[in-house]
Amino acid sequence: MATGLAAKEANFAMAGLALIVSLSLQVGVNYANDYSDGIKGTDDNRVGPTRLVASGLASAKSVKQAAFIAFAISAVVGLTLALSTSLWLIAIGAAAILAAWTYTGSKRPYGYLGLGEISVFLFFGLVATMGSYYVQTEKITWQSFLVAIPMGSLACAILAINNLRDREQDELVGKRTLAVRLGDARARKLFIALLLLAHVAAISVSGKNTLITLALLPQTLVIANRVRSGASGLALIPLLAKTGQLQLAFALLFSAALALN
């Protein structure tokens, strides 16, 4: 999406490096969460897909090493971007890695305090999108901020439905996610609001072509209605997948619209 917004200023080499950073951070945070939740025992009675450490499919040590390898890749490639643009990116990258590890790691993980959605919106929305735009153009604009909102809200929606699925079990083990803090009904409303925010933010970006993202509104409403109707537990797993598919489709369609603008 950042590359679409950059249009004629787009730098595909820098965009490719930014993609490696974001993907390696995504891989790293998932391994880190698997490791931390596994050794703490919070995944012992998991509703969702199998986790490596909790199921015994891989040792805690190997999963931790995999997380560190992914973080190292993001750090090295991120350093290359920083040296090519601004050294401030080193601080932002360090903050991203720290946030990825302490989400469920450390003595007081912020993911257990209901702050996960804020971090996801910040790092997988604003930082990922605006950062990708900056390394190509060396500019930060209001347009890049608006373009980042749909990705942040949809990334949050993925976490929100994941936490909604695990809400009852998380509450039993003392994991106070935002879904636990809000309760079932309000957690569902939050998820739906995040989906709709993506559409509102997209059409607020200047240029009539962004209206094309409304083509995905029927898909959005199908997911929202299923969640609103009370789907829970295992029934939410297919909807979690559909939310991820919606984010990907939204990004591709929005990117095309931005490029056409």
pLDDT of residue 139: 94
What confidence category does residue 82 fall into, taking pLDDT thresholds of 50, 70 and 90?
Answer: very high
In our burial notation (b when 16+ CB lie closer than 10 A, e otherwise), range 58-85 reads: bebeebbebbbebbebbbebbebbbeeb
Tokens of residue 138, six digits: 């060396």
Task: Return the ∠ at Cα 209 (arms to 208 and 213), rounded to 5°.
Answer: 115
pLDDT of residue 105: 87
Across the range 153-178, mean pLDDT stands at: 91
What confidence category does residue 21 fall into, taking pLDDT thresholds of 50, 70 and 90?
Answer: very high
Across the range 55-78, mean pLDDT stands at: 95
Q: Which of 252, 251, 221, 227 is nearest to 239 (CA)?
A: 227
Answer yes or no: is pLDDT of 37 > 90: no
Top-confidence residue, 9 or 106: 9
Cα 27–chain centre separation:
11
Answer yes or no: is pLDDT of 43 > 80: no
Contacts of 27 (CB under 8 A, 6+ apart): 70
**DSSP character for 230?**
T
Q: Which of 4, 152, 18 is nearest to 85 (CA)?
A: 18
Q: At what angle do helices 128-137 and 142-165 cross, to 10 degrees?
A: 150
pLDDT of residue 261: 83
- By CB atoms closer than 10 A (0-12, 13-18, 19+), residue 50 is exposed
pLDDT of residue 106: 81
Answer yes or no: is pLDDT of 251 > 90: yes
Q: What is the pLDDT of residues 84-94, one digit of tens each?
A: 999 999 999 99
What is the residue-averaged pLDDT of the chain?
93
Q: What is the pLDDT of residues 103-153, one digit of tens each?
A: 988 888 998 899 999 999 999 999 999 999 999 999 999 999 999 999 999
Answer yes or no: is pLDDT of 4 > 80: yes
Q: Percent of the chain having pLDDT more than 70?
A: 98
Answer yes or no: is pLDDT of 29 > 90: yes
Q: Which of 148, 25, 157 is nearest to 95 (CA)?
A: 25
Could you tell me the pTM of the whole model? 0.91
Across the range 57-62, mean pLDDT stands at: 94
Query: DSSP for 150-168?
Result: HHHHHHHHHHHHHHHHTHH
- By CB atoms closer than 10 A (0-12, 13-18, 19+), residue 261 is middle
**DSSP character for 74?**
H
Cα 83–chain centre separation:
26
Answer yes or no: is pLDDT of 46 > 80: no
pLDDT of residue 121: 96
Specify whether the CB–CB gap between 259 and 12 falls below 8 A. Answer: no
